[in-house]
Chains A and B, each alone.
Chain A
Amino acid sequence: MLTFTIRRLILAVPTLLFISLVIFLLLELAPGDPMAQVPLTVPPEVKEKMREALGLGQPMHIRFWKWLVQFFWIEPQVLIDHYLGTSFSAGDLRVISWQTRSPVMDIVVQRIPQTLWVVGTAYVVAILIALPIGIYSAYRQYSWFDQMGTFVSMVGFSVPPFFSGVLVIVIFSVQLGWFPSIYDTTHVVDSWDAFVYQLKQMIMPVMVLALQITAQLSRFMRASMLDNLNQDYVRTARAKGLSEYVVVMVHVLRNSMIPVVTVIALGIPSIFGGAIITEQVFKVNGIGQLLIGAIQANDLPMVQTLTFIFAVLIVLFNLIADVLYGILDPRIRYD
């Protein structure tokens, strides 16, 4: 198992390098000039200087190498410096955003807590709703509860977040006035009232995100439970005289959770991707909105770094899912 994990980790390095190259080349080979917005009255020499100031003077492979060094070597040092108070990174050039002229990673670190709060809560809520629905739908297959569950998850698949989000805003904040339509990230929770407000403003984005995740997860849970409910060991457990609760909730559930846990792990990065739209709808200033802003402002270093962070998340959670599968299911050991 350990060798498998190590092998996968080593394999992840070329994958990530390749992805970073793809992203870099996509940004690089795309027609379009970052200097296009500069007025025509600016003389060419000055334009050339500005180009160099943005780090665009050198050939492509050198810039790619520099970006790699900045991302994989200097940024971790900055992190260590921040926590331990050392000064490894003093004087090194970091990845600089063209919009704000400050290091990209600083802005990302500022934005990540908002995303994590909303997305993380949504994920937990979705798991808590989806698992019982999946279990009960499978246990009572083709009952009206199961039919309802199928229909609701189909709707959850089909209604895009930019519609469900806008719809709940219309209903709950415009018509009923229960919840604020804009997520206020500067809000500080220091009293009970502030906590209630925080809860109120989180409900809508969390529910919109959770609806989608629930739809997927409950289907997986149901299918996985159905696979296991007809197995021989279930009959044996019933024949032994175990109570129905123990049979379903202990024997079947534990075996059914194996694929579901990996699906949960695999879904985490795509949630960051899907959260881009939800963040946009509810004006949560997380990393999704940061990406949209950077794309609209033509801020290439920011776009490159953020896209790469998303890619790292995907590769990382793919790896976690694979390893988890092996750990949870002793029949699947990769070596």
Chain B
Amino acid sequence: MTDKERFVPDEGMAPASTSVPGAGALEELHNPARSQWLDVWDQFKSHRGALMGGALFLFIILGVYLGPFFWDLEATQIDIRARNQGPSWAHPFGTDQLGRDMLARMMAGGATSVSVGLTAMLLALFLGSFIGVMAGFFKKLDGPLMRLTDLFLALPLLPLLLVMMLLFREPLNAAFGPEQGIFILIVISIGVTSWMPTARIVRGDVLALKEREFVMAARSIGTTNSGLITRHILPNVLSPIMVSATLGIATAIITESSLSFLGLGFPPDFPTWGRLLFDATDYLQQHPERVFWPGMAISLTVLSVNYLGDGLRDALDPRIRGR
């Protein structure tokens, strides 16, 4: 991109390569053809924090999912003789009050926490994009759906989540088993209470996109509404959706840990990072390092995801890209 790009008004979120027909002529002589995603990657690379955040997040994901294959000790295996040990080669993170290996527990807990984060984010993203696209695309639905969004934003979320945990735990446990049931409950309640920001952003972008020429052209050749949405609208609102996806993972992980920390999340023998932190606070004076590991894991994950989102936002915005 050259300086000319700055004079092209109102680019919106469309890919830069399609929206700057005039600027391309000179450049093509020098540069080989580039895809949009290559441009995005180039911009993303220049954001050092985002690159490090992405690498760290990847490392954490690989660690919690693949780690158990390389680490033989079970998270639930009790070795009462080796309880309350400090870090050693046999137990790099030490052991807890029942002699369970902290590294194995951290990996098992991380797998749960990250899974909850990812699944809840996907659910919230699906709900948010669906409602946002519907509200932006169909004028009749706009009013009711946005009122609904406002209502959800006015709900006190953490208290409501706690109430939902209290009330729906038993029947879901009975139906799906204690671990599966609480997993479903937590994912659904976090997803249902965190789609609103995505819906608002997506709606705003869809409203702007709907008036653009390429949508009108597509409509004029008889594209159906569903075709318009899937082929033309959705690809163009992908970037705000991706940014809110990263932020969604962060909030979902923090919410799940808060619930576990308040004692209303997963059952006690089922480790998650929040639960490990909660259990460790009882031994705060004797073994403060046990609080440190899960807390650090939560914070680092959220920090890396936030940096990742920051970099993605810059990389996906064609107005900033290339400057």
Contacts and interface: CB of A to CB of B under 8 A. Distances in A.
Contact of A166 (B164, B295, B306): B295
B159 A158 contact: no
Contact of B262 (A157, A280, A313): A280
Contact of A292 (B157, B162, B299): B162
B238 to A, nearest CB: 24
A31 B307 contact: no
B154 A162 contact: no
A163 interface: yes
Contacts of A303: 159, 163, 166
A77 interface: no
A179 to B, nearest CB: 14
Given A31-B171, A158-B302, A295-B166, A273 B258 contact: no
Q: Is the contact region of chain B dominated by helix, strand, or loop, or is it mixed?
A: helix
Interface in B92-124: none
Interface stretch (A14-22, A48-56, A122-130, A240-248): A14-22
Interface stretch (B8-16, B58-66, B216-224, B281-289): B281-289
A307 B163 contact: yes
A175 B302 CA distance: 27
B284 A174 contact: yes
A31 B163 contact: no
A19 B159 CA distance: 13
B103 to A, nearest CB: 19
Contacts of B241: none
Interface string A255-299: 000000000000001000110110010000000000110011010
Contacts of B160: 23, 26, 307
Contacts of A269: 156
B108 to A, nearest CB: 19
Interface string A172-186: 001100000000000
Interface residues of B, number: 44
A155 interface: yes
Interface string B146-164: 0000110011111110111
Contact of B291 (A23, A170, A291, A296): A170
Contact of A31 (B157, B168, B263): B168
Contacts of A194: none
B154 A170 contact: no
A321 interface: no
A311 B155 contact: yes
B40 interface: no
Given A32-B167, A160-B258, A163-B295, A314 B159 contact: no
B43 interface: no
A158 B307 CA distance: 10
Contacts of B171: 31-32
A116 to B, nearest CB: 17
Contacts of A274: 158
A280 B278 CA distance: 11
Contacts of B158: 273-274, 276
B158 to A, nearest CB: 5
B155 A22 contact: yes
B163 A295 contact: yes
A7 to B, nearest CB: 15
A314 to B, nearest CB: 5
A175 B292 CA distance: 14
A292 B303 contact: no
A18 B151 contact: yes
A170 B288 CA distance: 7
Nearest to B303: A158
Contact of B167 (A31, A162, A273, A314): A31
A213 interface: no
Interface string A127-142: 0000000000000000
A298 B166 contact: yes
A226 to B, nearest CB: 14
B156 A277 contact: no
B277 A166 contact: yes
Contacts of B154: 15, 19, 311, 314-315, 318
A296 B167 CA distance: 11
A306 interface: yes
B281 A295 contact: no
Contacts of B168: 30-31
A167 B278 CA distance: 12
A18 B150 CA distance: 12
Contacts of A154: 303, 306-307, 310
A30 B165 CA distance: 11
A311 B155 CA distance: 6
Contacts of A169: 284
B264 interface: yes
Contacts of B263: 296
Interface in A148-168: 154-155, 157-160, 162-163, 166-167
Contacts of A93: none
Interface of B: 150-151, 154-160, 162-164, 166-168, 170-171, 250, 254, 257-258, 261-264, 274, 277-278, 281, 284-285, 288, 291-292, 295-296, 298-300, 302-303, 306-307, 310
Given A160-B258, A295-B162, 18 more contacts: A22-B155, A26-B163, A26-B164, A26-B167, A154-B310, A157-B303, A160-B295, A162-B277, A166-B281, A167-B291, A269-B156, A292-B162, A306-B159, A307-B156, A307-B159, A310-B159, A311-B154, A313-B156
Interface of A: 15, 18-19, 22-23, 26-27, 30-32, 154-155, 157-160, 162-163, 166-167, 169-170, 174-175, 269, 273-274, 276-277, 280, 291-292, 295-296, 298, 303, 306-307, 310-311, 313-315, 318
8 contacts: A32-B167, A155-B299, A157-B250, A158-B299, A163-B277, A163-B295, A307-B159, A311-B154
